[in-house]
Chains A and B, each alone.
Chain A
Amino acid sequence: MRQLLEALSSLRGVSGFEYRITDKVLEYFKPYADEVYTDTLNNVIAVKRCGIKNAPSIMIEAHMDEIGLMVTSIDEDGFLSFVNIGGIDTSILPGCEVIVHGKKDFPGVIGAKPPHLQSRNEADKRVKMKDMRIDLGFLGESASELVSVGDAVTLCGEFTPLLGTIVSAKTMDDRASVAALVKTFEALSHIKTEVDVYAVLAVCEEVGSRGAKTAGFSIKPDMAIAVDVTHGITPDNSKNAFELGSGTAISKGPNIHPAMSKRLIDTAKRANIKYTVEVEGGDTGTDAWELQVAGVGVPTALLSIPLRYMHTTVETLDINDVYATSDLLTHFIAGLDSDLEGWLCI
């Protein structure tokens, strides 16, 4: 799992630029799937058929895109201005190492006006994105030949093992969930199921759950479970947050089909899998929100992995929570029979 998390978190695919990583993501599912393909928007889809004719289907879903930046202009000295793609905390950017995906991948550093040129009240404020530049160290070379406006930029955040089973890296949101799906497919390859299973690795979650919307429409699953991350408890916040190591968080609320959350909880109890319950009064801020209303609607649930420092380059989680998530998905799917109608009826 460590190697899988390291490999997946180091892939670089900003929302809209997932084509850079679809081939690699596909490879992880290939050994366990009957079919793998990408759709119009570049969602990666892996199918594991149970062999029963007209069997019901379940979709398990995680997004593969990541937050990042996009080049908006290149000045004559080769410094790049940029905007964000997805919700980035600008306070993490000064001093941040990046990769600019131009003609090739160029390492860069985000600089800002040095302290001695700042006025006193400037130093108390956050640096605004419009005042930051990416420095590629081009001297006298024409940056505009190597980098174009519209090129994607990813943040650097090397996989870093902390104590025990805690690890930190960029893009654990949501590659940790992609890892959970890989592990689920791997486990399911040893199990006879009575449902067809679709794993969807969706694009463009960070800019509004766009991939989930179209994948939900075209696959038309009988039910869906989205997997994402949720906030871990930190010294400055314990509300709506979960301890690392507390297991997978099973969501409840209007976004979630109540029979599914109940069955997930029952399954976790029976299989002795660590879990907590997360309650959201409306939009869960995940792909579950779009999946629920895809096409004629899909009974939807949400599992979340607790993660500290979301949307930074040091997203930190407990590997055991990723295991808990894939274990619960596996047990849940293994326990389904071909008659879904009965228990899904509300």
Chain B
Amino acid sequence: MYLKELCEMDGVSGNETPVRKFIKENIREYADEIFTDSIGNLIAKRKGESSEKKVMIDAHTDEVGFIISGITEKGFLEFKTVGGIDTRVVVSKRVRIGKDSVNGVIGMKAIHLQKKSEREIAPKISDMYIDIGANSKEEAERYIELGDYAAFNTKYQEMSGKIIKAKAIDDRAGCAVLMELIKIKPVYDTYFCFTAQEEVGLRGAKTAAYAIEPDIALAVEATTCSDVGGVKEKDYVTKLGSGAAVSFADNRTIVGRDFCQWLYEKSQKAKIPVQYKAAIAGGNNAGAIHLSKKGVKTASVSVPCRYIHSPCSIADMGDIEAVKNVAELFLLCTNELV
């Protein structure tokens, strides 16, 4: 799997190019057709045993991050968030900015200089800036343009056992899974969609689904996992190490009962560890795909991911393997569903 390579790449929504190029290079030999559309989706068609139906399988290439919105006279960079970032995880983190990957750090007034009242409230993005070490606006402008993207600079690392930490596991884990699955021959013609701009409103999946007009679709995602200290068990959403998470509903989609049950039960029979995503929270590309044209039968299967949308998430390779196996079952037995 290409998880490490994918998670160490920068591809903030709207600038997925490096991720897309890497994927394209590495799956080209398995694709019968491959193209990039206007929003930046990479779509690879893999012919199946039959062309009777069209299957769409989706993972998004983008990640949450920042965009440079101003440069101060002294050469500090002002920025906005791209996608949903909890602003409380941002201070004192490292980023890479622009096409030349300029190093920067996100600063704020030192604790010694903060007033007592300031120490209580969560820092706002407007109170922060990125420091690239420029001594003036002119120097900064030699390296940075307004509109340049900035991404967290986090190394992929193995923790204990099969646990790994990295940024952008949402949804490079999905991308890594799709890059493996394109190697097998599916039952129907399958469109492997590496979609852009999920984090800013499921935008790539919308145009991809429109173009493909699939009969059925599966979004391969990463989802919240809050089985962490200080959270009540009922609020866990998913549990790390308990397998692939099948959604029955989230904020954007109510998955067809038959489809999500099929995924869950079929996986159980195949001895693939599987769990239900036990909360109606978040939303993913299934939301855009299932409303395409006259409607598409769509479900999602996700990798539980702690500290999603932060500089450093945690996932279990066993869960990623399980997601791959569930998605593989789907591609090999789609005829049972359509």
On A, residues with C-beta under 8 Å from B are 75, 77, 79-81, 87-89, 91-92, 94-97, 106-109, 111-117, 123-127, 131-133, 135-141, 157-158, 160-164, 166-168, 231, 233-237, 241, 244-245, 285, 308-314, 316
Contact = CB atoms under 8 A, between A and B. Distances in A.
Interface in B85-136: 86, 88-94, 102-114, 119-123, 127, 129, 131-135
Contacts of A161: 103
B335 interface: no
A316 to B, nearest CB: 6
Interface centre among B86, B90, B143, B235 (most CB of A within 10 A): B86
B270 interface: no
B92 A96 contact: yes
Contacts of B123: 91, 126
Which bracket fits the contact residues of B?
A: 35 or more
A195 B134 CA distance: 41
Contacts of B135: 163-164, 244-245
Contact of B165 (A75, A107, A163): A107
B314 interface: yes
A166 B112 CA distance: 22
Contacts of A96: 92, 312
Task: Tell me the dominant secondary structure on chain B's binding face.
Answer: loop
Contacts of A75: 229
Contacts of A158: 94
Contacts of A168: 94, 103, 105, 131, 133
Given A91-B108, A137-B159, A160-B105, A109 B72 contact: no
Interface stretch (B18-26, B205-213, B303-311): B303-311
Interface in B53-94: 72, 74, 76, 84, 86, 88-94
A141 B241 CA distance: 12
Contacts of B308: 114
A13 to B, nearest CB: 20
Contacts of A80: 229
A95 B312 CA distance: 6
Given A126-B88, A137-B164, A168-B94, 4 more contacts: A114-B224, A115-B86, A161-B103, A162-B105
A237 B224 contact: no
B89 A95 contact: yes
Task: Tell me the dominant secondary structure on chain A's binding face.
Answer: loop
Nearest to A309: B107
B247 to A, nearest CB: 14
Contact of A311 (B93, B111, B161, B229): B111
A126 B122 contact: yes
B103 A94 contact: no
Given A137-B159, A139-B316, A234 B165 contact: no
A235 B132 CA distance: 13
Contacts of B229: 75, 77, 79-81, 111, 133, 135
A137 B231 contact: no
B131 to A, nearest CB: 6
Nearest to A130: B230
Nearest to B72: A235
Interface centre among B122, B143, B157, B281 (most CB of A within 10 A): B122
A237 B127 CA distance: 11
B309 to A, nearest CB: 8
Nearest to A317: B133
Given A95-B311, A125-B122, A139-B163, A162 B131 contact: yes
Contacts of A106: 159-160
Given A162-B103, A235-B72, A314-B106, A113 B231 contact: yes
Given A87-B111, A114-B308, A107 B157 contact: yes
Contacts of B119: 89, 126
B92 A309 contact: yes
Contacts of A116: 224, 279, 281-282
Contact of A310 (B84, B112, B143): B112
Interface in B22-59: none
Contacts of B112: 87, 231, 285, 310-311
